[in-house]
Structure 1
Amino acid sequence: MTTYNNRLILFMALLLTGLQLEAQLSLTAQIRPRFEVRNGFGTLPLKGSTPAAFMSQRSRLAINYSSPKVVLRYALQDVRLWGQDAGTISNADGNRLGTHEAWAELILANAKDSSGSSAVDMFSIRVGRQELVYDDQRLLGNLDWLQQGRRHDALVFKLMDGGWQADLGLAFNQHTDAFAYNGTAYTPANVSAYIKDSRGNIAATPAGMIPLTNSAGQSAKNGNPALINMPSTNGLNQAYKSMQFIYGAKKIREAKISALVFADHFGRYTNDSVRNISGTDTGYIYGRKFNAGGVHSRITTGLQVNYPIGSKKGLQLIAGAWYQGGKDRDGLSLSAFMTTASLNYSRKQFSYTAGWDMLSGNDALDNDGKSHRFDPLYGTPHKFWGQMDYFYAGTGSAAGGLNNIYLKSKYAGAGKRFSVSLDYHWFALLGRQLDKQGASLRKYLGSEIDLVTTYSINKYATVEWGMALMAAGKSMAYTKGIDPANARNTASWSYLTLHIKPEHIFK
């Protein structure tokens, strides 16, 4: 028996040794606490309001497996505020963990694999919960700034050959697999279990409904909530029912040109209300019931070019243009565009960027019955349109579109242990908008200054501090659905983050 055990141990040791020669296993952990003081983050503060302060934390653990034939990643994530949970919780508190990533990539062809010849450099299929990150993350990104991040449940075919890259992605979403459930109607959001009705009473959220709420979390009165006019699906309350995309890119020396065709389809809904009785007080919950057949389909397509200028490659041009057509999530015919152009100059530890973004919107004086509000899909808006997230993040955007003229500078110290960046944004409406009296609004919205510093303590930990100031014009209040008489036109925000991210590779 002892001889058998010794042979078994020897066999397992040889097997593990063989696996280690062919594969690599690594474990990555991340603890990211962030302290914030918000005095007008995402929207203008109201007169008489006081700043909010809190500590949030992301805790993530990822297992990575890589071999010539398969790559896997599983990332378990917990995101919460300090003090959000009681010191002792019960089963009634519900689930607290979430899977951020869980995917496998089957490598079907690899020219670098010595086991045989391959017709292409690389061909693989990735399936499962995954991040979609392309180009500079303007349209598709992981939104890593947000503690929750962004991911998709998708199937992606990946091809690389001769400097070309081509990806084909597919997704189909559903919210239940109950035996008694028929059809494919999809309630496309994670909604709170409870909500306030039109009278301010607490009520359970009706099944299959996304409530329409105002900024205070109270159900709409007369079916007209403050947030119903938000155009963006980027972090807001209506996920797609299904999507398909084709991404292609080609590197030509140091330059890169890429193209994207992205189709996302949104379930149709009907407006509905549910009566709620609290004692003798009767209120209503207004919302959208996603029980209608069919979908509204939207198509986004465009090109982006990254082109180095000059032999020393210190100057780089980035330019792109995208068009959005079909129908938006509410069924309106859509014709919208976005353009971007920027110049970046880098020299030693310094870099400077000047750029201009234009995102189309509606013109109140030229209504053709279509929506012209461009939605920048599922990217990382925090990176492009100001760190205070006034535009195209979870706070929506201006109905008149956006002009964003910006200047950015950054210094990275020797060894890259210390860096500091300073950005300036000038925001204005692209289309004409009217105030409550029917007069034209000034197009100028406001100016934002962002300052961010980072310091690497060691290879495992980095500390980051940032602050931002917003000096808004009177038109900003209208774009946020606030009476200008009740809004303060100056806002501020600051944060302090500690990034701790050790990684261990098993050899």
Structure 2
Amino acid sequence: MKNKYIFRLLGVVGGLAGVFPSQAQLTLTGQLRTRTELRDGYGNLLPKDASAAAFTSQRTRLSVGYKVDRLSFGFTAQDVRVWGQDASTITAADGNRFSVHEAWAELQLLNKADTSIHLKWLDQLSLKVGRQELDYDGSRLLGNLDWLQQGRRFDAALFKARHRGWALDLGGGFNQNSDAFGLTGTAYTPGNVATTALSTKNVILSIPAGFIPTSGKNGAPILANAVSTNGQNQQFKAFQMAHLTKVIKGHTLTGLFFKDDFSKYRIDSTGSISNGYVYGRRYDVRGVNSRVTYGAMLTGLLAKTTLGKFSYLAFAYVQSGHDRDGLAINGAHYYGVNLAYLQNRFTVTAGYENLTGNKPDQPTGTTRRFDPLYGTPHKYWGTMDYFYVGTGSPVGGLQDAFLKVKYTVKRFTAGLDVHYFALESPIVNRLSEVPSTFRGHLGNEYDFVASYALNKFTALELGYSLMQGTNQLEYAKQNTLNQKEKLGQWGYLMLNIRPDFLAKSAKP
């Protein structure tokens, strides 16, 4: 009986879509992306004689879009898994990884084309509210992290204003764990916390609400070098942002202000004398640690000659306030520049980027480490993800000098990126009997990627990367010396199918 009513409803919706084709736009798209990887030193140098890992992961998405008059609506559901992660017949205990990636609505509050409202000082104003991707300035500091199968999204409200070539986005979000009865205050435990942990007596204990386990009695983080909030499961309590764009005669100037607030915590333990203790962070302290990031980016065309086009990109960002652990941020900055040459099918790009790190004499209670927020590190600091992701980052910051060559013809694209990585600030080697200082070279990375479009909705991508690491890289990332292989490699084959279910034709 229920199915009969569902089919009737679908018939009514289909009929309405046919009656009002010019007034409403409906889109229905999908994605199935499989990626088979061979990891032999991906993210971190491997211990000597360690075996390579191989697996296939899959993302499946279904996206619905609807637009009519002053309303736009978007919904994306996704499922992310590794092949074989679930048995062929699963139980409720196996759980699932199905989630809502996006669910938003955008209301046109003002449009100069709308004759019912007249404002000379504003062409357009809209409000986009709900679960949505934030993607600005090439995903450098704010992005959808699309390379990661699960991607990234924000629960937020975003006002978007447009006027005579200016674009201003003002947004914010406020996170909370639950809306259950009996809750008091606004204390927030930053997400995805393990429900159990191993105690000091090797006993598995249940973890109470508002408690995040750590690895040591002094509350050391589980991943000590993971300075970046990128790739971590602990998100902010709240954020406020502003992004301004202006296009001037082929040059684009953007400005970013982003403030994220992190819940304060105290070091505590849970457990008993008989079962042992689990040490960690208890989020029942009032107040937040607030961090502010601000800066600008300028891009554009330098020259256009018979030999080709020359373009540029330059940016600089500064951080202040306090990081998520309450350290005062002092002198943290990130800057870079690159020049690109485009000639027919070839693009050659050379550039340099600098992210500050702590100095050997860094004052207690302070930090100089720049955190590149919620961007897509995979896109900028090597595809092997050694820096500013979940694999950790050097306390001494990073310098990246790179050269990128790309070739494009019809359906085929191939590129080779070469990176020279070095520390921005020296770090102290405390493993030797007499402490010494490490500075300079961390390693060289070579990234090759080739892609081919089989048809309008199917693409095949192949990648292979090498990392030639140094002892300094081993120490900076893993706090060991001469225990890891210095050569890492990684390869993948990715099939990306994105059908448009309402398209009239799917021919190649």
Q: Classify 1:138/1:28 alpha carbon distance in 2 versus 1 (closer, same or farther; 3 Å).
A: same
SS at match of 2:472: helix
Within-5 A mapping of 1:281-430: 282-312=275-305, 314-335=309-330, 336-367=332-363, 369-413=365-409, 415=410, 417-430=411-424
* In structure 2, distance between residues paired with 1:391 and 1:11: 52
Deviates more, 1:441-450 or 1:140-149: 441-450
Answer yes or no: is 1:489 the counterpart of 2:486: yes
Q: Classify 1:189/1:459 alpha carbon distance in 2 versus 1 (closer, same or farther; 3 Å).
A: same
* In structure 2, distance between residues paired with 1:40 and 1:250: 42
What residue identity is the alignment partner of 2:407? Y
* In structure 2, distance between residues paired with 1:94 and 1:65: 31
Q: Classify 1:11/1:425 alpha carbon distance in 2 versus 1 (closer, same or farther; 3 Å).
A: closer
Contact 2:226 2:389 in 1 (8 A): no
Structure 2 partner of 1:3: none
SS at match of 2:428: coil
Tell me the CA shift for residue 226 of structure 1: 5.7
Answer yes or no: is 1:134 the counterpart of 2:136: yes
Q: Classify 1:13/1:432 alpha carbon distance in 2 versus 1 (closer, same or farther; 3 Å).
A: closer
What residue identity is the alignment partner of 1:295? V
Tell me the CA shift for residue 431 of structure 1: 0.8
Q: Classify 1:13/1:497 alpha carbon distance in 2 versus 1 (closer, same or farther; 3 Å).
A: closer
> Runs ≥4 in structure 1, deviation > 6 angstroms?
10-14
Contact 2:218 2:267 in 1 (8 A): no
Question: Match for 2:255 among 243, 259, 277?
Answer: 259
Question: Match for 2:438 among 418, 437, 441?
Answer: 441
Contact 2:224 2:392 in 1 (8 A): no
Q: Classify 1:31/1:159 alpha carbon distance in 2 versus 1 (closer, same or farther; 3 Å).
A: same
Contact 1:261 1:299 in 2 (8 A): yes
Contact 2:192 2:234 in 1 (8 A): no
* In structure 1, distance between residues paired with 2:263 and 2:12: 55
Structure 1 partner of 2:3: none
SS at match of 2:187: coil
Contact 1:198 1:221 in 2 (8 A): no
Deviates more, 1:229-238 or 1:170-179: 229-238
Contact 2:225 2:477 in 1 (8 A): no
Answer yes or no: is 1:26 the counterpart of 2:27: yes
* In structure 2, distance between residues paired with 1:498 and 1:118: 49
**Once the two structures are superposed, what CA deviation does each residue of 1:319-338 show, in whole Å capped at 9, x if it has no partner?**
00000000000111102100
- TM-score between both structures, scaled by the size of structure 2: 0.91
* In structure 2, distance between residues paired with 1:161 and 1:25: 28
Within-5 A mapping of 1:85-104: 85-104=86-105
Within-5 A mapping of 1:131-280: 131-212=133-214, 219-220=215-216, 223-224=219-220, 227-275=223-271
Contact 1:25 1:506 in 2 (8 A): no
What residue identity is the alignment partner of 2:281? R
* In structure 1, distance between residues paired with 2:398 and 2:34: 33
Contact 2:354 2:399 in 1 (8 A): yes
Contact 2:129 2:156 in 1 (8 A): yes
Tell me the CA shift for residue 13 of structure 1: 8.6
**Once the two structures are superposed, what CA deviation does each residue of 1:28-83 show, in whole Å capped at 9, x if it has no partner?**
10000111111111111011211111111000000011223111100000001111
**Once the two structures are superposed, what CA deviation does each residue of 1:472-494 show, in whole Å capped at 9, x if it has no partner?**
11111112224113211111111
Tell me the CA shift for residue 128 of structure 1: 0.2
Tell me the CA shift for residue 102 of structure 1: 0.2
Tell me the CA shift for residue 307 of structure 1: 2.1
SS at match of 1:478: helix
Q: Classify 1:121/1:77 alpha carbon distance in 2 versus 1 (closer, same or farther; 3 Å).
A: same
What residue identity is the alignment partner of 1:470? M
- TM-score between both structures, scaled by the size of structure 1: 0.91
Structure 2 partner of 1:5: none
**Once the two structures are superposed, what CA deviation does each residue of 1:355-382 show, in whole Å capped at 9, x if it has no partner?**
1000001011353642000001111111
**Once the two structures are superposed, what CA deviation does each residue of 1:443-481 show, in whole Å capped at 9, x if it has no partner?**
211110000010111111111010111011111111222
What residue identity is the alignment partner of 1:314? K
SS at match of 2:289: strand
* In structure 1, distance between residues paired with 2:238 and 2:285: 16
Q: Classify 1:284/1:25 alpha carbon distance in 2 versus 1 (closer, same or farther; 3 Å).
A: same
Q: Classify 1:286/1:68 alpha carbon distance in 2 versus 1 (closer, same or farther; 3 Å).
A: same
Q: Classify 1:206/1:12 alpha carbon distance in 2 versus 1 (closer, same or farther; 3 Å).
A: closer
What residue identity is the alignment partner of 1:305? L
SS at match of 2:473: helix
Structure 2 partner of 1:77: 78
Contact 2:385 2:391 in 1 (8 A): yes
* In structure 2, distance between residues paired with 1:62 and 1:13: 18
Q: Classify 1:272/1:237 alpha carbon distance in 2 versus 1 (closer, same or farther; 3 Å).
A: farther
**Once the two structures are superposed, what CA deviation does each residue of 1:80-105 show, in whole Å capped at 9, x if it has no partner?**
11111111112233343100000000
What residue identity is the alignment partner of 1:397? S
Gaps of 5+ in 2: 1-10
Contact 1:103 1:129 in 2 (8 A): yes
Question: Match for 1:465 among 462, 485, 489?
Answer: 462
Tell me the CA shift for residue 295 of structure 1: 0.3
Contact 1:226 1:481 in 2 (8 A): no
Contact 1:189 1:210 in 2 (8 A): no
What residue identity is the alignment partner of 1:380? T
What residue identity is the alignment partner of 1:356? Y
Within-5 A mapping of 1:30-45: 30-45=31-46
Contact 2:46 2:484 in 1 (8 A): yes
What residue identity is the alignment partner of 1:289? R
Answer yes or no: is 1:454 the counterpart of 2:447: no
* In structure 1, distance between residues paired with 2:47 and 2:27: 48
Q: Classify 1:346/1:201 alpha carbon distance in 2 versus 1 (closer, same or farther; 3 Å).
A: farther
SS at match of 1:485: coil
Q: Classify 1:200/1:220 alpha carbon distance in 2 versus 1 (closer, same or farther; 3 Å).
A: farther
* In structure 2, distance between residues paired with 1:487 and 1:481: 9
Tell me the CA shift for residue 254 of structure 1: 1.0
* In structure 1, distance between residues paired with 2:422 and 2:456: 41
Tell me the CA shift for residue 505 of structure 1: 3.5
Gaps of 5+ in 1: 1-9, 213-218
